């Protein structure tokens, strides 16, 4: 793949997770790790019905997205965020941007 990449992660929170604490962990991961990650473009965290969440991160390239994923596995702010996600419910995809409309 070449070109911009959307990393899309769909998940539920671990049962009993406080939503405010989760959003604070998301903010901490953003400021302590993602904003300075090589190739990071932008991110949005969205919530749907039935406590379904989706984290959408845009990257310059697939290799930069995958490197950030590996690096995040050793970063305290990322680990705090990840600990609140129910791994069994999680689906992760990398999708190549084919068109951009504004």
List residues bridging with 39 in a β-sheet. Answer: none
Kindly give the confidence (pLDDT) of every residue in the chain, 102 residues in length, as a single tens digit, with 9 standing for 90 and above: 557 999 999 999 999 999 999 999 999 999 999 999 999 999 999 999 999 999 999 999 999 999 999 999 999 999 999 999 999 999 999 999 998 888
DSSP 8-state secondary structure symbol assigned to residue 14: P
b/e string for 74-85 if b means 16 or more Cβ within 10 A? Answer: ebebbebbbebb
pTM over 0.75: yes
DSSP 8-state secondary structure symbol assigned to residue 50: G
Residues 80 and 28 sit within 8 Å (Cβ to Cβ):
yes
Residues 52 and 45 sit within 8 Å (Cβ to Cβ):
no
- Set out the domains of the chain in order of their start, with CATH numbers: 5-96 (3.30.70.100)
């Amino acid at each position: 793949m070449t070109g911009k990449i959307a990393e899309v992660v769909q998940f539920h929170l671990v049962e009993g997770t406080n939503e405010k604490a989760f959003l604070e962990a998301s903010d901490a991961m953003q400021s302590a790790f993602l904003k300075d990650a090589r190739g990071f473009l932008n991110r949005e965290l969205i919530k749907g019905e039935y406590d379904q969440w989706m984290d959408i991160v845009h990257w310059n390239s697939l290799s930069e997205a995958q490197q950030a994923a590996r690096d995040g596995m050793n970063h305290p702010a990322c680990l705090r965020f990840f600990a609140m996600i129910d791994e069994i419910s999680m689906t992760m995809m990398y999708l190549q941007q084919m068109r951009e409309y504004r």
